Amino acid sequence: MSRPRRSHVRAGLFWGLCGVALVLIIAPAVDIILSILAHALPVLKPSLITETTSGTQLGLQNAITGTLALSLGVLIVAGTVGVLAGLYLSEFAPPRIAANARFFSEVLAGVPSIVVGYVGYTALVVGLHWHYSLLAGILALSALILPYIVKTTELAFSSVPRTLREGAIALGLSRGRTIRKVLLPPALPGVVSGLVLALAISTGETAPLLFTANFSDKNPSGLFNPVGYLTGVTYTDIQLPDPKTQAVAYAAAGVTVLLVLLLIFAGRGITLRSRRLIARMDV
């Protein structure tokens, strides 16, 4: 009788530890979001949105508009390149080329963000004499999130049921028409959710922007001027001793977290819908 009992104890211990591990995953996520929001909500006043950061005036307008400008730029640059690249990997590339391009694109995602920032500084800010600028920030961020968009786009197209492709071939449609009329509608939600998730990541980045976009107390005023962003406010202000500026750091972090959560849930919602859509199509 002693052997089975001991194994019961061991099994109980094992699953108990697994349960503790799960708690250790969920608890920090909950605590981070709740504690940042708890610090941020009391200082989220309308003035943070209506005023810019200048002197003792504590506003976030420039950071919010700057983050939006950066996101828009990233969406245009990384979105265009990434979606086209994903489309090529899924629809046109010979398997061997696709495998290699995919591999290196994924390795690109492993480049540390501060290295991307340094390269942006050396090549764009100094090398091309762009100085600290919105455009340099956009390109640095784009390099960082391009691999995500490539992967999600490729996945969105390659998970369109084969029956649809065969139907298009049977109808004698050209490749271009097949992509536009047959593959794009079911793949689109997946592509969009990939873009949304990529935006969530780019909204939260700091390191690649420090030495490319630098920072600005004014609203974005052109591609070749420096620009502010929310994560930069948090990064700078939390290191200052004044509790008033630290409150602004929390406010900026709170707005960032809300934006990122919104994007993540939107992306997840679209993904779930598209999965259901595709499941219904597969005959």
Partner 1 sequence: MISAPAGKVDAGRARHRLSQTELSRGDRVLRAVSAVAAMIPPGLLVFIALVMVVAAMPSIVFNGWSFFTGSVFNFGNLYATTTITHNGVAAPPQAAYGALPLIFGTFATSLIALLLAVPISVGGALMLSEVIPRRIADPLSVFLELLAGIPSVVFGLWGVAVFGPFIAAHVYPALSSLGHIIPFLKGPVGVGQGLLTASLVLAVMIIPIIASTTLVLLRRVPILAKEGALALGMSRYETAKVVTIPYIRTGIVAASLLGWARALGETIAVLLIIGDIYRIPGNIFGNGSTIAAWIASTLDGALGDFTGMGVHALAELGLLLLAISLLTNLAGRIVVRRVAGGVLPVGRGV
The minimum distance between CB 211 and partner 1, in angstroms, equals 6
Q: How far apart are CA 214 and CA 208, in angstroms?
A: 10
3-state secondary structure of 57: strand
Nearer to partner 1, 50 or 268 (CB): 268
Report in angstroms the alpha-carbon separations of 200 from 54, 67, 268.
27, 11, 12
What is the token pair recorded at 42? 């009391």
The interface with partner 1 within residues 234-263 (CB under 8 A) comprises 234-235, 238-239, 249-250, 253, 256-257, 260-261, 263
The interface with partner 1 within residues 40-79 (CB under 8 A) comprises none
The minimum distance between CB 6 and partner 1, in angstroms, equals 12
Report in angstroms the alpha-carbon separations of 23 from 19, 30, 76, 129.
6, 10, 39, 50
Q: Which stretch binds partner 1 (CB under 8 A): 56-64, 129-137, 217-225, 228-236?
A: 228-236
Nearer to partner 1, 50 or 177 (CB): 177
Q: How far apart are CA 198 and CA 100, in angstroms?
A: 22
* Closest CA relative to residue 168, chosen from 158, 189, 153, 182: 182
The minimum distance between CB 220 and partner 1, in angstroms, equals 20
How many residues contact partner 1, by CB under 8 A?
Answer: 105
Q: Is the dihedral of CA 48, 49, 50, 54 positive or negative?
A: positive
The interface with partner 1 within residues 75-134 (CB under 8 A) comprises 80-82, 84-85, 87-95, 98, 100-101, 103-119, 121-123
Residues β-bridged to residue 54: 57
The interface with partner 1 within residues 13-32 (CB under 8 A) comprises 14-15, 17-22, 24-26, 28-32
The interface with partner 1 within residues 148-207 (CB under 8 A) comprises 148, 150-152, 155, 158-159, 162, 165-166, 169, 174-176, 179, 194, 197, 200-201, 203-207
Residues β-bridged to residue 57: 54
Nearer to partner 1, 59 or 82 (CB): 82
